[in-house]
């Protein structure tokens, strides 16, 4: 039951979250439904691909009350404060694409500092608190739905009724009991736009995603070769894929982010990236999501992009990449050269 003190604290948290730049705010209790059976089946079938960390700490991931524990070990978490940061912006004009959330600085570094401010406010009021931004065993999307930030769409991503698909989610777990918000309601209706647009059919059914087929997973999380059956579907995507977000009709109300730190960073042409040294890679990507790739995976992705969109002027760079010390990069470069030459052969005036 909400008390005057808990209501006042929730209002203070909401005001502070707004001051910190969060555009969505809500509270959920630890008893929230989390699609547990689906998640466990999803793991058992290996649909998480190589993301082995999702197999760990599920005793806490599926039981939020265990996210905080007393010295004796008993679970003591009672509420989760959910917030969202708007990251929508137009993509810069260049011949390759980077997912919108990764155009600027790494949002983890931006959000965790602000979430710790909210955690500090909770401690000032006698509670323990811990902040997470994709860094702990937390199922953020179903929790955000239960906190009233929106609903999980058919592509499994959160949809905010006024901001669309463009929210970065953060959570603060606390021992304090705060008044929960009403759960978000599903408004996808009969729409299947996100399912229809997926280039690899990774959305296998409404509200179900096979990560092993998802281009965002293959280009970012997946180590090793990108399966050949998906390489042409990569198109000009260098990092991530926004297709199922872009087509959502709820984005008609999307607003450009005010977060200057998320503003798109300038990068050279994808062909030049193939010539980067380790030092150049670090200099160009430090503090951005692209740094997570490491240089070999960036080059792997770059060769696939050039295989799909490249022309005669890109062949020298690809030929040098064939000699790369990383065998995955070399193999993808060979594939890309074959794709470019095959495409050029269909254009008699540009044969090589």
Active site residues per annotation: 134
- Please name the residues in contact with 260: beta carbons below 8 A apart, sequence gap of 6 or more: none
Q: Which residues of 164-185 are buried (b: 16+ CB within 10 A; e: fewer)?
A: bbbbbbbbbbbbbbbebbebbe
State how far the Cα of 191 lies from the Cα of 177, in Å rounded to an integer. 37
Measuring CA to CA, which residue among 48, 51, 93, 102 is closest to residue 263? 102
In this structure, are residues 86 and 165 in contact, taking their beta carbons and an 8 Å threshold? Answer: no
In this structure, are residues 201 and 290 in contact, taking their beta carbons and an 8 Å threshold? Answer: no
Distance, first Cα to last Cα, the chain: 75
Kindly write down the DSSP assignment for every residue of 184-197, as one continuous string. Answer: P----TT--HHHHH
The pairing of strands 208-209 and 203-205 is antiparallel
Helical spans, DSSP H, in 51-99: 58-61
Angle, vertex CA 226, rays to CA 223 and CA 228, nearest 5: 160
Looking at the DSSP bridge assignments, the partners of residue 132 are: 171
In this structure, are residues 219 and 238 in contact, taking their beta carbons and an 8 Å threshold? Answer: yes
Distance of CA 135 to the CA centre of its chain: 12
Helical spans, DSSP H, in the chain: 4-19, 36-44, 58-61, 107-124, 140-146, 193-197, 215-216, 228-234, 243-246, 270-273, 278-285, 294-309, 315-321, 327-345
> In angstroms, what CA-CA distances link 45 with 7, 42, 49, 209, 212?
43, 5, 9, 12, 11
């Amino acid at each position: 039951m909400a008390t005057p003190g808990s209501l006042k604290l929730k209002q203070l948290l909401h005001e502070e979250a707004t001051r910190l730049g969060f555009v969505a705010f809500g509270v959920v209790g630890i008893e929230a439904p989390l699609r547990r059976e689906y998640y466990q089946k999803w793991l058992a079938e290996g649909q998480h691909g190589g993301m082995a960390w999702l197999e760990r700490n599920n005793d806490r991931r599926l039981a939020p009350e265990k996210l905080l524990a007393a010295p004796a070990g008993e679970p003591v978490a009672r509420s989760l404060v959910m917030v969202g940061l708007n990251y929508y912006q137009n993509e810069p004009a260049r011949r390759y694409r980077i997912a919108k959330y990764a155009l600027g600085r790494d949002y983890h570094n931006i959000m965790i500092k602000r979430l710790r401010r909210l955690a500090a406010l909770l401690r000032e009021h006698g509670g323990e608190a811990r902040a997470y931004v994709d860094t702990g065993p937390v199922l953020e999307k179903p929790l955000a739905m239960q906190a009233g930030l929106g609903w999980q769409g058919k592509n499994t991503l959160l949809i905010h009724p006024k901001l669309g698909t463009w929210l970065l989610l953060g959570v603060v777990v606390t021992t304090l009991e705060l008044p929960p918000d009403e759960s978000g309601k599903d408004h996808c209706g009969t729409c299947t736009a996100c399912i229809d647009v997926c280039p690899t059919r990774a959305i296998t059914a409404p509200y179900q995603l096979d990560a092993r087929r998802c281009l965002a997973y293959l280009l970012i999380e997946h180590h090793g070769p990108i399966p050949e059956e998906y390489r042409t579907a990569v198109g000009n995507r260098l990092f991530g894929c926004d297709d199922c977000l872009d087509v959502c009709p709820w984005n008609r109300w999307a607003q450009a982010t005010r977060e200057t730190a998320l503003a798109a960073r300038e990068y050279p042409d994808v062909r030049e990236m193939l010539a980067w040294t380790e030092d150049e890679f670090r200099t160009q990507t430090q503090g951005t999501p692209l740094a997570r790739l490491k240089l070999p995976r960036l080059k792997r992705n770059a060769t696939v992009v050039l295989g799909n969109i490249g022309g005669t002027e890109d062949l020298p760079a690809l030929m040098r990449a064939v000699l790369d010390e990383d065998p995955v990069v070399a193999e993808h470069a060979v594939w890309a050269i074959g794709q470019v030459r095959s495409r050029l052969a269909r254009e008699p005036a540009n044969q090589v």
